[in-house]
Structure 1
Amino acid sequence: MFLAWNEIQKNKLRFTLIIGVLMLVAYLVFFLSGLANGLASLNREAVDKWDASAIVLTEESDKSLVASTMTIDEAEAMEADKTAVLGQINAIARTDDQKANVSIFGIREDEFIMPEVSEGEAFSADNEVIASDTIKEDGFALGDELELSSTDEKLTIVGFTEDARFNAAPVLYGDLGTFQRVKFGEAAEANEDQINGVVVRTDDISAVTDNSELEAIESETFIENLPGYTAQSLTLNFMIYFLFAISSVIVAIFLYVLTVQKISMFGVMKAQGIPSGYLARSVVAQTFILAAIGVAIGLILTLVTGAFLPAAVPVAFAIPTMLIYGVILVAVAIIGAVFSVLTIVKIDPLKAIGG
């Protein structure tokens, strides 16, 4: 460690460049992880808010909530610790000055998926809704009357709730009657028993329903089947894993070049009786120091950047995940140093000093 740190101090510019490259790689990895986490949250916040075991949909819906249709009677026949009926429809909500894509949830106020109100009050009358607080970013406020693209019905925002987006759209929570009027219009009364799914909390998902036309889907499986969710997550995660490999290659190249430049010095040291193991440990220690400094700076820069990003940028930094990625970056950097270690072990002292 002494030899490693002493050399870093003697060649500050050279090793600062290596730290800079590692810092940029770490910065990109951390930012991509925040972007992946933020984009995932855009799709799943409302589902996570349920804290449910599963959701029951029709078999023919292909795990799509909006494509599923069942009756309240079918919902009441289900066996679970807790059940909550759910209707869902997508729409465009607008006022005179604002417009936003929204997802409308029809729920019952006394069931467990009823959201906690963070501002305003819960819905208590027809066409009143609780909105995700993210809709404020589009300029909406308490008391706004919303016109919808799919109906003549108008909704009024009476409250806000935190963390409630579904498929990247802010959620509007209203009662079942409101949902059915928005979806069916004048035929709402004839379809008052129609819903899209049933959210359940239970220890035995397989026992929820014996109806062959219905399917109980675990919450995580349901999320993974949301349009674009899996493809988006795999793409960003692949980029992160690819950066790990790039980091290893970059460190390997830099350290190998430095090692080749110092072959004669290593030869003299080995001729003086310094074992290859000591020199190898010095290179590994040097790599650890450089990688740790670069990763730490990258982490700090990422958090600073995150503090100044506008709310419209979907990033959410998970510190535990970032720390794990930081450890992996340091580890792959050390793995990249193996080539230099092998070179040191193979150095013949006599040849290295020109004997």
Structure 2
Amino acid sequence: MFLAWQEIKKNKLRFTLITGILMLVSYLVFFLSGLATGLASLNREAVDKWQASAIILTDESDKSLYQSSMSIEQLNDIKAKKTAVIGQLNAIASNDDDKQNISLFGINKEEFLMPNVTQGRAFEKANEVIADESLKDKGFKLGDTLSLSSSDQQLTIVGFTDHARFNAAPVLYANLATFHQVKFGEAADQKKDQINGIVVRDDSISKLTQNDELDSIEIESFIQSLPGYTEQKLTLNFMIYFLFGISSIIVAIFLYVLTVQKISMFGVMKAQGISSTYLSWSVVAQTFILAFIGTTLGFAFTLVSGAFLPAAVPVSFDLTLMMFYGLILMVVATAGAVFSVLTIVRIDPLKAIGG
């Protein structure tokens, strides 16, 4: 460790460049991890808010809440501790100045899907809705009257709730009567028993229903099946894993070049009795120091830049995950010293000093 640190202090510029590259790679890894977490939250916030164990959808819906359609009477076929019915549709909501894609949830106020109200009040009658707080950043406010692209009904925002986005769209919560009016219009009275799914809280989800027309889906499986969720997550994770490999290769190339330049010096040191093991550990320690400094700087710069990002950027930093990725970066970067170690072990002192 002493030899490694002394060489770093002596050749500041050379090792600063290596540290700078590691810092940039780690910064990109941390930022991508924040982006992956943020985009995942955009899709699943409202579902996580349910704190449910499963959701019941029709068998032919292919795990899609929007494609599922059932009768509220089928609630009698569900054997669970707690159940809550839900209707869902997608639309474009607009006030006088702004438009926004939204997801409308029709729920019963007395059931556990009822969200907490952070501003305003809960809906009390038809055509009143509780909206996700993200709509405030889009120009919507309490008391706004909303027109929907799929309906002649007009809704009024009476309250806001937090963390309520579904498939990246802010959620509007309304009672079932409002949902039916928006979805079915004049036929609402004939369709008033129609819902999209039943959300369940129960310790066991293996035998929630014996109805062959219904499918019991574990909540995490339901989230994974949301359109684009898995593909998006895999793409960003693949980029992160690819960066791990890049960092290892970059460090390996730099250290190998430096090692080759110092072959004669290593030869002299081996001729003086310094073991290959000591020299090898010195290179490994040197690599670890550089990786630690570069990763730490990348971590700090990520948090600083994250504090200045606009709300429109869907970044959410999971510190535990970031530290885990930082540890992996240090490990793979240190592993890049293997080629240099092999070179040191193979050095013949006599040939290295020209004997």
Specify the alignment match of 2:295 in structure 1. Answer: 295
Query: What whole-Å deviation, never above 9, does each CA across 1:170-227 have from its counterpart, x for those lacking one?
Result: 0000000010100000100100000000000112212111100100101111111111
Is 1:156 matched with 2:156?
yes
Give 2:271's aligned residue: 271
2: CA distance between counterparts of 1:75 and 1:135?
33
Q: Distance in 1 between matches of 2:160 and 2:253?
A: 54
Matched, 1:247 2:247: yes
Distance between the aligned counterparts of 1:187 and 1:148, measured in 2?
Answer: 17
Please list the CA deviations of residues 62-119 of structure 1 after superposition, one character each: whole Å capped at 9, or x if unmatched: 0000000001110232111110000000010001101100000000111111111111
Report the 3-state secondary structure (helix = DSSP H, G, I; strand = E; otherwise coil) of the residue aligned with 1:351: helix
2:119 equivalent to 1:101: no
Number of aligned residue pairs: 355
Cα distance in 2 for residues equivalent to 1:126 and 1:159 = 14
Q: Distance in 2 between matches of 1:3 and 1:112?
A: 63
Give yes or no for the alignment of 1:219 onto 2:241.
no
Secondary structure, aligned partner of 2:220:
helix
C-alpha separation in 2, matches of 1:72 and 1:315: 38
Q: How does 1:4-83 map onto structure 2 within 5 Å?
A: 4-83=4-83
2: CA distance, partners of 1:260 / 1:251: 14
Q: Aligned residue for 1:113?
A: 113
CA distance in 1, matches of 2:263, 2:82: 71
Residue 326 in 1 paired to residue 326 in 2? yes
Asked whether 1:177 is paired with 2:177, we answer yes
Distance between the aligned counterparts of 2:165 and 2:76, measured in 1? 27
For residue 189 of structure 1, what is the aligned residue in structure 2?
189
Matched, 1:257 2:253: no
Which stretches in structure 1 are left out of the alignment for 5+ residues?
Answer: none
Give the secondary-structure state (helix, strand or coil) at the position aligned to 1:190: coil
Q: Percent identity?
A: 70
* DSSP-derived class of the 2:227 partner: coil
CA–CA distance in 1 between the matches of 2:103 and 2:76? 25
In 2: Cα distance, 1:260 partner to 1:77 partner: 74
AA at the equivalent of 2:297: I
Q: Decide whether the 8 Å contact of 2:129 with 2:174 is kept in 1.
A: yes
Q: What is the rounded CA distance, in whole Å, between the counterparts of 1:207 and 1:234 in structure 2?
A: 32
Amino acid at match of 1:180: H
TM-score normalised over the length of structure 1: 0.99
Rounded Cα–Cα distance in structure 1 between residues aligned with 2:79 and 2:176: 21
1:273-326 Cα shifts (integer Å, max 9, x gaps)? 001110011001000000000000001111111100000001001000000000
Q: SS at 2:135's partner residue? A: helix
Q: Give the Cα separation in 1 of the matches to 2:346 and 2:81.
A: 67
Q: 2:143 touches 2:158 (CA, 8 Å); kept in 1?
A: yes
Asked if 1 retains the 8 angstrom alpha-carbon contact of 2:77 and 2:210, the reply is no
2:350 corresponds in structure 1 to 350
- Partner secondary structure for residue 182 of structure 1: helix
CA distance in 1, matches of 2:270, 2:346: 11
Structure 2 Cα separation of the partners of residues 128 and 337 of structure 1:
64
Partners of 2:192 and 2:344 in 1: CA distance: 78
**1:233 alignment partner, SS class:** helix
User: In the aligned structure 2, how far is the partner of 1:351 from the partner of 1:310?
Assistant: 60
RMSD: 0.6
TM-score with structure 2 setting the length: 0.99
The structure 1 segments of at least 4 consecutive aligned residues displaced by more than 4 Å after TM superposition are none
AA partner of residue 273 (structure 1): G
1:141 aligns with 2:141: yes
Counterpart AA for 2:112: F
TM superposition shift of 1:16? 0.2
C-alpha distance in structure 2 between counterparts of 1:237 and 1:75, whole Å: 39
1:166, 1:271 → 2: CA distance?
Answer: 68
CA distance in 2 between counterparts of 1:121 and 1:86 reads 20
Q: Provide the rounded CA distance (Å) in 1 between the counterparts of 2:277 and 2:82.
A: 63
Instruction: Answer whether contact 2:118 2:161 (CA < 8 A) is retained.
Output: yes
Cα deviation code 1:141-182 (max 9, x no counterpart): 001010000111010101100000000000000000010100
